[in-house]
Amino acid sequence: MTLVRRMSMYLVCGVSLAALSGTTMAQDPLHAWRGGADPASLETWVNARLAAAKADLDKITSVQGAHTVENTVRPYDDAQNELALAGNEAYLMFSVGNSALLRDKGQALLAVVSSAATDLSLNQAVYRALAAVPLPTNDPATKHYVERALLEYRLAGVDKDDATRAKIRQLQDKITDSSLVFGRNVADGKLEVKATKAELKGLPEDYIARHKPDADGTYTLTTDSPDSTPVFSFAADEGLRKRMFLTYNQRAYPKNVAVLKSVLEARQELATTLGYKTFADLAMADQMMGSASNLRKFLQEVDDASRGAGDKEYALLLEFAKKQQPGLTNISIADGSYWSEQYRRVKYNFDAQSVRPYFPYDEVQEGILKTAASLFHVEFRAVSDAKTWDASVSTYDVFDNAAGKKKLGRIYLDMHPRDGKDKWFSSAPVVPGIRGRQLPEGALICNFSGGVAGDPGLMEYSEVVTFFHEFGHLMHHILGGQGQWSNAGGFNVEGDFVEAPSQMLEEMFRDRTILSSFAKHYKTGETIPASLVEQMNAAGAYGRGRWLQAQMLYSTYSLQVHDRAPQQVDFDALLREDSDRFSHFTFLDGDRMYTSFTHLTGYSSNYYTYVLDKVIAVDFFAQFDRSNLLGGPTAMRYRRTVLEPGATKPAAELVKDFLGRPQNLEALKAWINEEFKGNGVAAGK
């Protein structure tokens, strides 16, 4: 009910504005930009989607007699579909729109759509109607879809009385507002560190040249990343590294202590209001992990699996550092990056710049499309006359190679920077899929090198890995968008599973056969030498034990501040305790990392997502035949069991269907210890 009233208010406003500006209604209900890529057309289009969603919800509330899948679940999903279209494309225009006005309009409309979605999540009439639908016994996908929708409704507090629901909304608003303040304090928190000329030793020449000395001969460095990151990695002076580290980690201190406390208090109250003991339990109730106690067990297992390798890595690093700096007894947290960088250079003799000539953008894109086509048994056909939001976007239709060349969907590749375009790398759903009615469409929004005439666009190897990663999300969306429910596609899986398919595709990048199929020197055409691939992979495998131990620290800390009463949380004591337990580097007094750790407000207790999905991704990858990654039957089995079902099953079942068992840590252990292969150092257990 709330939804209907709220939305009609927006609609009246939207339609009258559009009428004033003389814009006609956009005709294409799936593509906002086709009706005109200007703010008024976008607003008209989004409002049409919201009106359609309202009409769908009206169908549910006006049902006379029994609620059924057809008269209730169908219009519920249709409404979700309209909201998804509206949200996806408002976001798209916010990210890639070709004028500031259009991008601003996209952002404003995004807030309107998200408010409509929140209203739907608290809509009691729709919840009761869905709950009254007898669940079909012969259609497990629909059964799971409805059960999950009902769980999300309960987690939102829809079944509480009016006063409680008002309180929930208030607590949620408080969490959102305080989290924004937390993030802004971090973004705005810029402090300065003074350094003498001698202390700049080891920093790159262009870094030193960028900084002019003050009148007294000292240099002023800031805590912003272009100034601070090189200090951590390259500054030879221990004192400068320590000053920078402590200042950097205090850039939102003490301001954010109180802000973080208020977020935790509101979260705890929300959790108890909804019947959970702690916020960690609430945040994991609809995730693969399920509960905080499952997470504790999982973290212990990963700790056991990675500790030995982490210890060995640290011992080797300390031995190396002692040779350079006699008398050194331990490496502090401020010095970890510096010594790791020195060690990596000497030990692996790998310069990331040396592979760039083998990765010109156009060849990389072609290579990734070719790899994905073989792996997923699809064909990409360029669509030269597609109307998109920018002339530089390339469009491909995706066809099924497995079943009579059926068309599966469409992808848009918006891959290079433009003025005003979003600066990040992401994969975004555009159109959700509904079997027999609407094909899924997705976009990559990236900022890779290239795209300019005459520039080969030589890519860093980390950029190529990112390309593989984002393409993994895109294929999950296309292949997982072939079912009957719009809101059960690839992007709708549990939040702590969504990164597994993309991380799995990253592993493919390390395969020499796949790499040599497209990595050719942009001038000579020479295939990337096998020795260079080996060096690159060896350098890439370095430090995995310590990386996981650091992930343990962040995951444990994120859990601990959310698994007890906020009054019992001592941020400093917990940080010291977790650092002593997981970090090989010595803790420094005054380290206030938690005041700028924005994942605490973003992921809350669920930072572990990165680790869980890494475990699953390498377990998935281990099922493939390494000597024939693309050719064997495993790829098709992966497509069928993991990607195609989208969110019509719990993720734990997708994993089990593919592996024949739940994920375990055996593949992760092999992955961690890869770095010790062949150099006579055994990592132990």
**From CA 565, how far away is CA 317, in angstroms rounded?**
39
Q: Could you tell me where the beta strands, DSSP code E, fall in 435-491?
A: 441-445
Task: Compose the 490-519 pattern: x for residues touching Zn ion by CB under 5 A, - for all others.
Answer: ---------x--x-----------------
Report, in Å, the least distance between residue 394 CB and Zn ion: 21
Nearest-10 crossing angle of helices 2-21, 100-121: 160
Nearest residue to Zn ion, using CB? 502
Report, in Å, the least distance between residue 43 CB and Zn ion: 30
Task: Compose the 624-663 pattern: x for residues touching Zn ion by CB under 5 A, - for all others.
Answer: ----------------------------------------
Binding residues for Zn ion, how many (CB under 5 A)? Answer: 2
Q: What is the dihedral of CA 6, 12, 18, 19, to 10 degrees?
A: 170
* β-sheet bridge partners, residue 527: 520
> Which residue type is seen at 234?
F
Report, in Å, the least distance between residue 468 CB and Zn ion: 11
- Residue 292 vs 505, nearer CB to Zn ion: 505
**From CA 12, how far away is CA 28, in angstroms rounded?**
21
- Residue 60 vs 474, nearer CB to Zn ion: 474
**Coil, strand or helix at 32:** helix
- Residue 54 vs 477, nearer CB to Zn ion: 477
Phi, psi values for residue 307, rounded to 5°: -60, -45
- Residue 358 vs 610, nearer CB to Zn ion: 610
- Residue 230 vs 440, nearer CB to Zn ion: 440
Nearest to 154 by CA among 50, 64, 350, 285: 285
Q: Could you tell me where the beta strands, DSSP code E, fall in 486-575?
A: none
**From CA 613, how far away is CA 667, in angstroms rounded?**
13
- Residue 502 vs 604, nearer CB to Zn ion: 502
**From CA 584, how far away is CA 316, in angstroms rounded?**
12
- Residue 547 vs 587, nearer CB to Zn ion: 547
- Residue 189 vs 501, nearer CB to Zn ion: 501
**Coil, strand or helix at 480:** coil
Annotate 563-585 with three-state secondary structure: CCCHHHCCHHHHHHHHHHHHCCC
Phi, psi values for residue 388, rounded to 5°: -120, -170
* Strand 426-431 versus strand 441-445 pairing type: antiparallel
Contact criterion met (CB below 8 Å) for 591 and 268: no
Contact criterion met (CB below 8 Å) for 85 and 117: no
Which sign does the torsion angle of CA 298, 300, 305, 309 carry?
positive
**From CA 141, how far away is CA 119, in angstroms rounded?**
26
Report, in Å, the least distance between residue 16 CB and Zn ion: 40
Report, in Å, the least distance between residue 223 CB and Zn ion: 28
Report, in Å, the least distance between residue 426 CB and Zn ion: 8
Report, in Å, the least distance between residue 473 CB and Zn ion: 6
Report, in Å, the least distance between residue 425 CB and Zn ion: 9
Six-digit token string for 586: 């010595």
Contact criterion met (CB below 8 Å) for 676 and 682: yes
Q: For the segment 58-97, give every residue that binds Zn ion (CB under 5 A).
A: none
CA distances, 565 to each of 268, 276, 525, 607, 634 (Å)? 7, 12, 62, 19, 47
Residue 579 binds Zn ion, judged by CB under 5 A: no
Q: What is the DSSP string of 615-638?
A: HHHHHHHTTS-GGGTTTSTHHHHH
- Residue 432 vs 490, nearer CB to Zn ion: 490
- Residue 578 vs 613, nearer CB to Zn ion: 613
* β-sheet bridge partners, residue 428: 443
Element (H, E) at 502: helix 500-508
- Residue 396 vs 497, nearer CB to Zn ion: 497
Which sign does the torsion angle of CA 444, 27, 9, 17 carry?
positive
Report, in Å, the least distance between residue 602 CB and Zn ion: 14
Report, in Å, the least distance between residue 472 CB and Zn ion: 8
**From CA 336, how far away is CA 333, in angstroms rounded?**
5
- Residue 41 vs 502, nearer CB to Zn ion: 502
Nearest to 180 by CA among 262, 277, 279, 61: 262
Report, in Å, the least distance between residue 413 CB and Zn ion: 16
Which sign does the torsion angle of CA 432, 433, 438, 439 carry?
positive
CA distances, 217 to each of 23, 205, 235, 253 (Å)? 62, 18, 18, 29
Q: Tokens 């890519």, residue? A: 459
Report, in Å, the least distance between residue 490 CB and Zn ion: 12
Report, in Å, the least distance between residue 499 CB and Zn ion: 5
Phi, psi values for residue 587, rounded to 5°: -65, 145
Report, in Å, the least distance between residue 374 CB and Zn ion: 22
Nearest to 260 by CA among 202, 189, 174: 174
Report, in Å, the least distance between residue 312 CB and Zn ion: 30
Nearest-10 crossing angle of helices 609-621, 666-673: 90
Report, in Å, the least distance between residue 438 CB and Zn ion: 24
| Residues binding Zn ion (CB under 5 A) | 499, 502
